[in-house]
Amino acid sequence: MCGRFALYLQAGAFAEIFGCTPPEDLAPRYNIVPDGGIVAVVQGSEGRRAGRLRWGLLPPWAETSDDRGRQINARSETVFEKPTFKSAALRHRCLIPASGFFEWQKGGGASLPYFIHRSDGAPIAMAGIWRQSWFGDTSVASCAILTMDAYPSITGIHHRMPVMLDPVAWDAWLDPSTRDPHLLQRALQPLPEALIAAHEVSRAVNSPANDRPDLVEPMTETTPGAAVPEQGALF
């Protein structure tokens, strides 16, 4: 799954890479959590445009904006079949830019957080779907991130990961005229595994209240939130 990510891309680089102007309030974020507004890129009649969507896709039958059925992730293997996701996947697709995402490695003790990113420092574009829901005169545009089986190199951290689209697939995924699930499934071309790297980070990222640059840095013994090693025997 994908439940946390970071985006600290500057506005100029965003415009150059994604081919549209970013939202005016774009600012570096190092610990983005569900239910907040996240940046997304969609394709319209006049080209690409970027805006904000609430992370947590509301189902088509939602009666309130805080419906408990909202989903932050959708499995790419079944997204065109499940009633919660099907209409959004066929009609409203997006790219969700990120500098990287977090996953937690479960073990015998506390889970260890890792930051997973492109090894060359370039941003990633996670495949997303979105839906506009109306509650009286109020509308909510919500979204979910598609996931897939993790690359073998990171299955030791988590068995699922977001679909990080190869740039050659962006246009096909965004094309609003395409509604054939077979064509769209083929458009879900992930980045080559060789481009992906991961490193352990501070457990300070566990708290949604923390949002600072050191959360994405490789952990060392002096990193805030690092585990304190046990004292070895003297004799």
Return the sign of the alpha-carbon dihedral for residues 158, 76, 152, 6.
Answer: negative
Predicted TM-score of the model (pTM) = 0.92
Contacts of 21 (CB under 8 A, 6+ apart): 11, 15, 49, 50
Beta strand spans in the chain (E): 5-7, 29-32, 37-44, 47-55, 73-75, 93-98, 100-105, 112-118, 124-135, 138-149, 160-162, 196-200
Query: Band of the pLDDT at 225, cuts 50, 70, 90?
Result: low
The CA distance from 145 to 33, in Å, is 12
Return the sign of the alpha-carbon dihedral for residues 40, 219, 122, 168.
Answer: negative
Contacts of 117 (CB under 8 A, 6+ apart): 99, 100, 101, 124, 196, 197, 198, 216
Question: What pLDDT shows up at residue 221?
Answer: 60
Residue 98 CA neighbour count, 13 Å, CB half: 30
Q: Which residues are tagged catalytic?
A: 2, 103
Residues 150-173, mean pLDDT to the nearest whole number: 97
Question: What pLDDT shows up at residue 1?
Answer: 72
The two structure tokens encoding residue 207: 């708290």
User: Which pLDDT tens digit goes with each residue over 13-51?
Assistant: 999 999 999 999 999 999 999 999 999 999 988 899 999
For residue 227, pLDDT beyond 60: no
Mean pLDDT of the chain: 93
Question: What pLDDT shows up at residue 232?
Answer: 33
Question: What pLDDT shows up at residue 45?
Answer: 86
Question: What pLDDT shows up at residue 223?
Answer: 52
User: Which pLDDT tens digit goes with each residue over 129-155?
Assistant: 999 999 999 999 999 999 999 999 999
